[in-house]
Amino acid sequence: MVGFRRVTTSVVASEVCPPEVATPSSDGPALARRHGDRRARPTPMWSRYALFGGRRRTVRRAHEREGAFVDVHGHRLFLLVCAIVVLNLLDAWFTLLFLSYGGRELNPFVQAVLDLESHPWPFLVFKTVGIGIACAFLALTKNFRPARYGLWFVFVGYSVLLAWHLYLFTWLPA
């Protein structure tokens, strides 16, 4: 076996490399980084990649899944959020329909918004923006157990509410 001798120098790294350039390590060559290694920090919830598209679809290790943020969300999550938004719009439509037939709103917050004006636009904006913000937050935090349960809870809740609306719809006069 051929032996190699390790050559060491007595030069201090700060004399050779400026402080903004990383010093060489035993892992490989030095890389110029201004903000450090991005992998040293977990992906933040609000990042440019979360808003404008990114690269990270899932975590690399199964034990890191719980509580991790990713940049790209899957088609199933997109369909679930779209279904919740559609169910929300159907709920708003049925609510306005039943109110026009003399029904009353049981939610006091929604009733307060309906009492603001005679036009339904504030109600529709309040309802749509509210569920949109809630769905966006739950979608961004999809790798947290409460958020996953929350998305499905909202979906099932709106599905049951739609079934109730359809039942009441059969009792409306023709």
Q: What is the pLDDT of residue 56?
A: 57
pLDDT mean over 153-159: 98
Window from 33-42, 81-90, 105-114, 135-144 with minimum mean pLDDT: 33-42
> Above 50 in pLDDT, residue 148?
yes
The answer to whether residue 24 scores a pLDDT higher than 80 is no
Percent of the chain clearing pLDDT 90 (strictly above) = 49
DSSP 8-state symbol, 67: T
Position 73 scores a pLDDT of 75
* pLDDT tens per residue across span 47-102: 666 566 566 556 667 776 676 766 667 899 999 999 999 999 999 999 999 999 99
First CA to last CA across the chain, in angstroms?
96
Distance CA 31, CA 20 (A): 10
| % of the chain beyond a pLDDT of 70 | 62
For CA atoms 149, 152, 154, 156, the dihedral sign is negative
pLDDT of residue 130: 96
- Which of 58-67, 96-105, 120-129, 161-170 bottoms out in mean pLDDT, i.e. has the lowest? 58-67
pLDDT score of 23 more than 80: no
**0.85 exceeded by the pTM?**
no
Residues in the chain: 174
Contact 134, 154 (CB under 8 A): yes
Mean pLDDT throughout 108-119? 89
